[in-house]
Amino acid sequence: MTIFRNEVAAAGRDGQDLTYIMIDIDHYKKYNDTYGHYEGDRVLQQIGASIKWFAADSGGMVFRLGGEEFGIILSGVDAEEACAYAEHIRSSVEKLGIEHAASPPYGVVTVSVGVAAVKVEGLREEDIYKLADNALYQSKAAGRNRVTLLENRTGVLEQEPGSTES
């Protein structure tokens, strides 16, 4: 996560907004169980190449978070642009048409995407990561194969219900 840390620090120094995008391949374990690990690795490579191509086109930095998750950092991009970019990735993966019988209702490999658009000042790296992770969770909970945006423009992390300040 050194890349992430460095980009957050640079955006904070420069007063730029930062967008962090998390991408997760839907039902990836089921894909591996159905088609085997060799095919699962090929899917990771294909989707990774697509994401990398889009990231290079937009000046973003892409990295693999582990398993079937990828992250993208975009600096100086507003929330609307970031969502359009994320939607383009989502639809492009679906259009690859990689068969996935264990992924109803689509029948092809899809991705869920969480977008965190933030004002970095006052936020920690883990706050930004958590916001993107929450957005990704919302995409999955809403049926997968979609993009969800969460924004924090205040630089203040809202406290979760039931938690107490330390």
> Does the pLDDT value for residue 164 go beyond 60?
no
Could you tell me where the DSSP H helices lie in the chain?
A: 2-14, 28-35, 37-58, 79-95, 125-141
Mean pLDDT over each residue of the chain, to the nearest integer: 87
Q: Note the pLDDT tens digit of each residue in 120-149.
A: 877 888 999 999 999 999 999 999 999 999
| Residue 158 per-residue DSSP state | P
Report, as residue numbers or ranges, the catalytic residues: 68
Q: Which domains does the chain have, with CATH numbers?
A: 2-152 (3.30.70.270)
Instruction: Tell me the average pLDDT across 76-104.
Output: 93
Q: Note the pLDDT tens digit of each residue in 6-16.
A: 888 888 788 78
Give pLDDT, residue 161: 37
CB 145 within 8 A of CB 36: no
Total-model pTM: 0.87
pLDDT band per the 50, 70, 90 thresholds, residue 45:
very high
Distance CA 115, CA 51 (A): 14
Determine the Cα angle at 134 with ends 131 and 139, to 5°. Answer: 130
- What percent of the chain is modeled with pLDDT above 70? 91
